[in-house]
């Protein structure tokens, strides 16, 4: 499904079996998010750390949402990509703390999301708290339409095509769009 679009990575048949960590990071930076292929799993903040333990590579990853169905696919893609640079002994560790936040999404990645048609998340500064507030009385945060840039937009549903996105509609250009929810 995604293999056709992958940039070629030189296989390391003759290379070292314990490449430098920046080589590992570069390789992981080419692994696309399965749901939002325009950004990588590194840009999304899913890969938390990589480290060599003797000759085994430990990769710490964190799920975006607890039930994100892409998590297992991401693990498979990581193993495939690392195998392509000659790293076969990989320990994937799931890390839950600190919980994943959209604040970790790199600024360039937010621009890519916008260009892809997904309004990028606002910065949460560590807190998303909507309890005790009637949503109908929300001071509406201005979400700019990724197509025309208008902030005349309307929330349709807090849950979009995936749990991490909300559905909006632009009342200027009338197009619906996804908003990556602050988390």
Partner 1 sequence: MSKDEALFELLLRLGDTDVVLAQRLGEWIGHGPVLEEDIALANIGLDLLGQGRLWLGLAGEVEAAWKGAGRSEDQLAFLRDGGAFRNLQLVEMPNGDFAMTMARQFYFDHAHLLLLRTLARSTDARIAEIAAKAVKEVTYHAERSADWVIRLGDGTDESHARTQKALDALWPYTGEMFVADAVDMALLDAGIAADPGTLREPWLAALQAVLDEATLALPAGEWMQGSGGRGGKQGVHTEHLGHLLTEMQYLQRTYPGAQW
Site residues for partner 1 per CB under 8 A: 63, 65-69, 96-100, 128-137, 156-163, 167, 181, 183
d(CA 96, CA 63): 7
CB-nearer residue toward partner 1: 11 or 161: 161
Q: C-beta of 158: minimal distance to partner 1 in Å?
A: 5
Compute the 3-state secondary structure of the chain and give helix, strand, coil in percent, each to the nearest 5.
20, 20, 55
Structure tokens at 123: 């910065």
> Quick one: 51 or 133, whose CB is closer to partner 1?
133
Sign of the four-CA dihedral 75, 167, 66, 126: positive
Nearer to partner 1, 18 or 124 (CB): 124
Closest separation in Å from C-beta 73 to partner 1? 13
Residue 138 CA to its chain's centroid (Å): 27
Minimal distance in Å, beta carbon 17 to partner 1?
A: 31
- Between residues 99 and 149, which has the closer beta carbon with respect to partner 1? 99
Nearer to partner 1, 7 or 135 (CB): 135
Work out how close the CB of 124 gets to partner 1 at its nearest, in angstroms, rounded to a whole number: 9
Q: How far is the CB of 7 from partner 1 (least distance, A)?
A: 30
Token reading at 93 = 């560790």
Summary count for the chain: helices (H), strands (E):
3, 7
Q: Residue 144: left (phi > 0), alpha (psi -120 to 50), or beta?
A: beta
Q: How far apart are CA 16 and CA 133, in angstroms?
A: 57
């Amino acid at each position: 499904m995604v293999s056709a679009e992958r940039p070629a990575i030189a296989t390391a048949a003759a290379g070292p079996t314990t490449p430098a960590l920046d080589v590992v990071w570069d390789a992981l930076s080419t692994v696309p998010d399965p749901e939002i292929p325009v950004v990588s799993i590194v840009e999304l903040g899913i890969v938390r750390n990589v480290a060599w333990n003797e000759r085994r590579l430990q990769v710490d990853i964190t799920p975006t949402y607890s039930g994100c169905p892409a998590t297992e696919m991401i693990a498979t893609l990581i193993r495939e990509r690392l195998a392509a640079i000659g790293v076969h002994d990989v320990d994937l560790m799931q890390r839950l703390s600190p919980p994943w936040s959209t604040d970790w999404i790199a600024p360039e990645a937010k621009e890519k999301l916008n260009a892809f048609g997904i309004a990028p998340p606002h910065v949460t500064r560590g807190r998303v708290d909507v309890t005790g507030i009637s949503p109908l009385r929300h001071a509406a945060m201005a979400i700019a339409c990724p197509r025309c840039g208008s902030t005349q937009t309307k929330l349709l549903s807090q849950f979009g095509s995936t749990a991490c996105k909300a559905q909006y509609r632009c009342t200027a250009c009338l197009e619906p769009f996804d908003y990556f929810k602050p988390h």
